[in-house]
Structure 1
Amino acid sequence: MSIEMMTLLFFGTLLLFLVLGLPLAFVLGGVSVIFLYFTWGPDAFYLVASQMWGTMESFTLVAIPLFVFMAMVLERTGVANDLYRMMHLWWGGLRGGLAIGTLGICAIFAAMCGVSGAAVVAMGTIALPSMLERGYDKNIALGCINTGGGWGILIPPSILMILYSLITGVSVGKMFAAGVLPGVLLMVLVSAYIIIRCYFQPELAPALPKEERGTWPEKLRALKAVILPILIVVMVLGSIIGGITTPTEAAAVGVLGALISAIVYKKFSWQMLHEASLRTFKLTGMIMWILFAAHAFSAAYQGMGAQALIEGLMTGIPGGPWGIIIAMMLIVFLLGMVLDPVGIMLITLPVFMPIVTSLGFDPVWFGILFVINMEIGYMTPPFGFNLFYLKGVAPPSITMKDIYGSVIPFVAIEIVGLALIMVFPKIATYLPDALF
């Protein structure tokens, strides 16, 4: 059978089972193992096992359960409530101020934990009812929570960045540094969109009445809400940038900060610790199974010789190197609508990275483009994770159709940000070049 037919059959089988709703790990691993058996015979299984063992020996992998645990603890501390009260007082007097304040809290959460779900669930529970109650348009309220929640995988620390580094060999520290300015850029763009739109359509997000805006003493007292979050961010990112810890060790420092927060907010209990640990085991187990399946996929993919075929197809794309990068971004964008981000990374990166490096592009810069695309995937229909997280905590009056419709302008803004980073690579590469 020709390599073209093998590739078509391989990916066709994968997509068929994924569309049927079977778990990604079992589809990716099961189909790959069957194709490996018929390509190389029983000896191929030793190759998969040795690759898995090599991954499990990676020290970087320890950071994943630690950052997940950190997010699970922070979800339960009450930090989000105090942050929202502070943003309510400081930004409420501005049209669209509660939405911009919500974006700010999402960015703070992103800088504390490294997963997207934490901010979406927290703000969907606290900020969404508050904004709807005060006359905010539901598209603005839902869209800003969906968008801001996705920044958890872009603003460091980020679990997806750790996985990107594991797959590509790029420094985790450089990836973390590279995510800072793009994260700030996206926050500025989305905030600017809300301010401009609310200026021309004030009925979409009215300013709070004067009695709700708070006095200056109240505003200043509310600022203490940011002390612990900033302390955690400084503990995690400061220890990495200062060379005190590796990114993996910084995850343990972050866990310490989250536990201190729980104690300060009087939310620490053995029950809380038990629940957070149990969810961490579940999420980490899911990620590990996907990693194992991805190694089987990678071995099967290389065994069939499909990588050479894909590289040949890529080099035939019009527009030269930039045409290839744009094509890769489009492929990842479309996959993000239907597949799990971890799965997309493990399917595409082994194919894309040799092409990216051979064309002379910076793998750190490409990594940021890739992660932003994954972030957009979290918020795009039909299967974006954030859409379902938000539906799970939204009031009953909010339908799935409302949530789907709310993301359209925000996805467009994220794509504008992605394009700016493509045109001006220094936005992503300046900090890693300066610090490392």
Structure 2
Amino acid sequence: MSYEMIAILMFSTMMLMLMTGQRVFGAIGFVGVLAAVLLWGTGGSDIGFSAAMKLMKWYPLLTLPMFIFMGYVLSESKIADDLYKMFHVWMGPVRGGLAIGTILLMVLVSAMNGLSVAGMAIGATIALPELLKRGYDKRMVTGVIQAGSSLGILVPPSVVLVLYAMIARQPVGQLWLAGVFPGLMMAAMFILYVVIRCRLQPELGPALPQADRDISRAEKMKLLRAGLLPLVIFATMMVPFVNGWTSLVESSAIGAITAFVAAVLKGRMTREVFENSVRSTLGISCMFMWIILAALGFGAVFDGLGAVKAIDSLFTEQLGLDPWMILILMQLSFIIMGTFLDDTAMLVIVAPLYVPLVKVLGFDLIWYGVLYTITTQIAYMTPPFGYNLFLMRAMAPKEVTLKDIYRSIVPFVAVMVLALTLVMIFPQIALWLPDYVYGK
């Protein structure tokens, strides 16, 4: 049997196991180690052990539990809730102002947590009921929350980019910086859409009534100070890192400690908050470590088979496709897979194949990490089984139907596709900041 046929057999076996409901890391790790043993005998079993040792020696992995803990402390202690109260008061007089404030809330929550589910939970439970009560169009605001929460996997500290960094063997710091401008650009495009839509159709996002705006200046400033606390925490963590005063791991520790101290000083660090934050951090961190471990083992076997060279030869020599056409086909495959898989599953399934192929084609792997993440955001919101669609259905009030949720994402998916196209055409949108910081 040829190595190409073995690679296809491995891939199809893994997909079959996933379709039967097996855990992602179990399916990928099992296929990888089993193939290694069948190909190279008992010595092949060392691949799993080698992957574990490589994972344990990867120092930047320490950032993962630190940033997750920081996000959960801010969420569980309700410090993140203060953000929405601030936006509610300060943005309320503007048409569509609460929807704009919700997008800004999503950006800041993303900067605190690095997971899209955190932004979705805060947006659906805090912002959505308030927006509906104020007469906002349910389809528009449902789309705003789904699109805004997807920024969590692009804006640093993105947990997904940590996973990509490990598999692609790229610096986490550069990937995070590469996600800054694309993430902010996408948020600005969402805001621009809301502004234009509410200007053309004011009934979709009415301004707050005068009675709700009659708040003293002192009360407004108090809300502003409370709402900006998460931003101060983020700055305390990122400024030393960007200026080269601390390493990435040290900055993550600063962020976790600062969030904890802030919760204590505000009197919100109860035993329940601490236990919930630690348990959630442990659960998510272990999940990601198992997935990375399985992906490394599977990738090692794929590399040994030379599957990447065979596929590169198939696309470029036999089919005559140019590198850009191959790249576009890869992105389309991500969107299709995103209809039934989450972001981590997509990455670990195709990373052993796609990442080396991107390198062979001559593209920058930092830039491709941003493309992958944006494409994942699109896949999150693509019917029939987009991840965010069902999260929203589970959290939204009864008056928001599944049909409303599906229709709400159409304009925002179009905005995301436009953002992806811009980053593909102008790579410096993603690469300028990491080149500037690391080139100093």
TM-score over 0.5 for the pair:
yes
What is the Cα deviation at residue 159 of structure 1? 1.4
Q: Is the 8 A contact 1:65 1:281 kept in 2?
A: yes
Residue-by-residue CA offset, 1:366-407 (whole Å, 9 max, x unaligned): 221112122223333344433343333322333344323322
Q: Which residue of 1 aligns with 2:423?
A: 421
Aligned CA-pair RMSD: 2.0
**What 5-or-longer segments of structure 1 have no aligned partner?**
none
Question: Which letter does structure 2 place at the counterpart of 1:143?
Answer: G
Q: Which residue of 2 aligns with 1:377?
A: 379
Match among 334, 337, 340 for residue 335 of structure 1: 337
Q: Structure 1 residues 297, 401: closer, same or farther in 2, change over 3 A?
A: farther
What is the Cα deviation at residue 43 of structure 1? 1.6
Identity percentage of aligned residues: 39
Q: Which residue of 2 aligns with 1:321?
A: 323
Q: Is the 8 A contact 2:163 2:288 kept in 1?
A: no
Q: Which moved more, 1:107-116 or 1:310-319?
A: 310-319
Q: Structure 1 residues 318, 222: closer, same or farther in 2, change over 3 A?
A: farther
Q: Which residue of 1 aligns with 2:352?
A: 350
Question: Which letter does structure 1 place at the counterpart of 2:51?
Answer: Q
What is the Cα deviation at residue 107 of structure 1? 0.5
Q: How does 1:19-30 map to 2 (within 5 A)?
A: 19-30=19-30
Q: Which residue of 1 aligns with 2:70?
A: 70
Question: Which letter does structure 2 place at the counterpart of 1:85?
Answer: K
Q: Structure 1 residues 295, 174: closer, same or farther in 2, change over 3 A?
A: closer
Q: Which residue of 1 aligns with 2:143?
A: 143
What is the Cα deviation at residue 65 of structure 1? 1.3
In 1: Cα distance, 2:163 partner to 2:247 partner: 15
Residue-by-residue CA offset, 1:320-339 (whole Å, 9 max, x unaligned): 22212212221222222222
Q: Which moved more, 1:257-266 or 1:410-419?
A: 257-266
Q: Which moved more, 1:308-317 or 1:24-33?
A: 308-317
Question: Which letter does structure 1 place at the counterpart of 2:241?
Answer: I
Q: Structure 1 residues 353, 25: closer, same or farther in 2, change over 3 A?
A: closer
Q: Which moved more, 1:43-52 or 1:181-190?
A: 43-52
Q: Is the 8 A contact 2:302 2:352 kept in 1?
A: no
Q: Secondary structure at the match of 2:42?
A: coil
Q: Which residue of 1 aligns with 2:172?
A: 172
Q: Secondary structure at the match of 1:344?
A: helix
Q: Which residue of 2 aligns with 1:360?
A: 362
TM-score by length of 2: 0.93
Q: Which residue of 2 aligns with 1:394?
A: 396
TM-score by length of 1: 0.94
What is the Cα deviation at residue 294 of structure 1? 1.2
Q: How does 1:160-199 map to 2 (within 5 A)?
A: 160-199=160-199
In 2: Cα distance, 1:275 partner to 1:382 partner: 33
Residue-by-residue CA offset, 1:178-215 (whole Å, 9 max, x unaligned): 11111111011111111112222222222222222344
Q: How many residues align?
A: 436
In 1: Cα distance, 2:208 partner to 2:113 partner: 31
Q: Secondary structure at the match of 2:27?
A: helix
**What 5-or-longer segments of structure 2 have no aligned partner?**
none
Q: Structure 1 residues 339, 312: closer, same or farther in 2, change over 3 A?
A: farther
Q: Which residue of 2 aligns with 1:251?
A: 252
What is the Cα deviation at residue 139 of structure 1? 1.4
Q: Structure 1 residues 289, 84: closer, same or farther in 2, change over 3 A?
A: same
Residue-by-residue CA offset, 1:352-379 (whole Å, 9 max, x unaligned): 3333333332222222111212222333
What is the Cα deviation at residue 252 of structure 1? 1.0
